[in-house]
Amino acid sequence: MEIITRGERRRRWTVEQKGEIVAESYGPELTPTEVARKHGISSGQLYRWRRELLGLPVAVVRRTTPGFAEVAVAATAPSAAPASTSAGTPESSCTNGRIEIVLPGDVIVRVDAEVDGAALRRVLDALRR
């Protein structure tokens, strides 16, 4: 377990020191969070220095414009054998509120009415990355 304290008084960083820390955060050896911990600053402070040194007034965020998702309701005919997943195991037969989410890259997520919403959100967030 690692305990990180922030009880020290404020330090003054020169522009050169900030530049060196920011440059290190862009390197391949350490993540920005690791660089911040190494120098005893918060990751938020490091990202603020990055914006300041690059001359950006705000953080660069690229978001797509929200839009509507295509939804298709398909009537399923009962089949003699259960469908198989990509792992080759039969799916459980679910008759109450099955939802199929088709994502780019031919990724399909199938859930039923009893799915835990928080767990589904974590799965979808992981697949989005």
**Cα–Cα dist 72/74, whole Å:** 6
**Cα–Cα dist 20/49, whole Å:** 11
Dig out the tokens for 29 from the structure: 């050896």
Output the CA torsion sign for 38, 42, 44, 50. negative
Q: What is the pTM of this model?
A: 0.39
Sequence-ordered strand ranges (E) for 10-96: none
- How confident is the model over 39-59, as pLDDT tens digits? 999 999 999 998 888 776 655
- How confident is the model over 71-109, as pLDDT tens digits? 777 766 555 444 444 444 445 454 567 788 877 777 788
Do residues 93 and 80 touch, judged by C-beta distance below 8 A?
A: no
DSSP 30: S
